Structure 1
Amino acid sequence: MGKPDAEGHGPADGLPGLPPEWGRVVVPDDASALAAEAAQIRRELRRATGLPGDHRALGLPLLVLLVAVLTTLAGLLVVTWPRAGRTDRPTPAPYSPPATLAGRALPALDLVDTGQAPVPLRGLLPAMIILLDGCPCPDRVGDALAAAPAGVSVVTVTGGRTVPSPPPDQRQARALADPAGGLRSFLGQPARPGVATALLVDRTGTVTRVLPDLGPVDAYRGDLSALAG
């Protein structure tokens, strides 16, 4: 069965020294002689771990782990996947001019005329000043010209340095450009496509009314007439 050492307790060659409490250790010449002991050890290990006797014992824990991983990944995809029609752009707030603009003094702005000569805006008061950087609105301008009493100027203002030709009305508006954007900055609101904005300013330079969307003349006729007083 094996070669005992000099004391008769183990093999003489090929094994390191073993603890004496292990007792006599015999290594058989034929490994098949250990089959019964190996089978017994495997049975004891199975009973101790509570797992089935073959490699399928690892299947259930691996399946549970796989389901957990897939569930986590699915949750991450639901949160991060782009949705149809999703947008991160904020909803624009409705236009509203500053509530305190009426009663404030018009700033001393220098605009330019068709020849690029500076024109002090306060030198044209009292006036209805119409900003056309969002809409040319020739009909609205024509209505304002027709309703403005004598002594009240109608001033049209565009952005940039180009001053468009005024409409061929019997009475012409004073057409100016605002290269620095000072008047729009004073309003505190950007230009809106298709919309003309107007300010009514008395002879002292005080803003009496702001018309965010210049509508029918009946909406401001009384205010326009009051500028002549």
Structure 2
Amino acid sequence: MAKRKPVTFAPKTGAMYAAMEAALEGQVTQFTTGSIVKGTVRGITDNQVFIDIGYKSEGVVPSNQFTEAEQVKVGDEVDVLLEQLEGDDGMVMLSKSKADDKIRWDMVLEKYQEGCVVEGIITSRVRGGLIVMVDSVEAFLPGSQVDISPVHDPEPYLNQTFEFKVIKISDERRNIIVSRRELLEDRQADKKRELLTSIEKDQIRKGRVKNITEFGAFVDLDG
């Protein structure tokens, strides 16, 4: 009986092996936990949506992360956030809701910066202030920054649209702090400077009496 020849493997050298190794490494390195990737919907169940992001196994997203308005279907391309390459079941863990949040926040960082003026609607009261919706992102309006004069009852401001000045953006905490008071004070100061540069002796101007005292009256010249 002839002896069976031992099985030999090709040495891990040469152009072919290098190309295969590079391809495998490239597949891993192009996926970074916490990044947003594009994927294609491959299957839908009552509770899960299976998405192919080009990795060796498909990813899964809870179906409740897709709104009824989106009406996701097989073949659709969607943006998802990569949470984990391989979970306990070997599936890629993805999140649609976190991807949406990150995309909205990145748009805010690209569009706005501290000191700029934004438009938003005051939607609700929270401890210490109010919530303002700016481009589908919540911003915090401290109670002391609602108006120039102290506001004891913020109810009349709810569901109203105003302009605000962005006074702080925290990328780490993903929050925005805005002020209506600073914006009004800035505009009031601009009017005052404009008035002081244009007012002259013996001019006749219309004004509004603000206060009367024993020694005279205070008149607002819209500045």
TM range (shorter): under 0.3
TM-score when normalising by structure 1: 0.21
**More helix, by proportion:** 1
TM-score when normalising by structure 2: 0.21
Larger RCO (alpha carbons 8 Å, 6+ apart):
1
Question: Which one has the largest radius of gyration?
Answer: 1
**More strand, by proportion:** 2
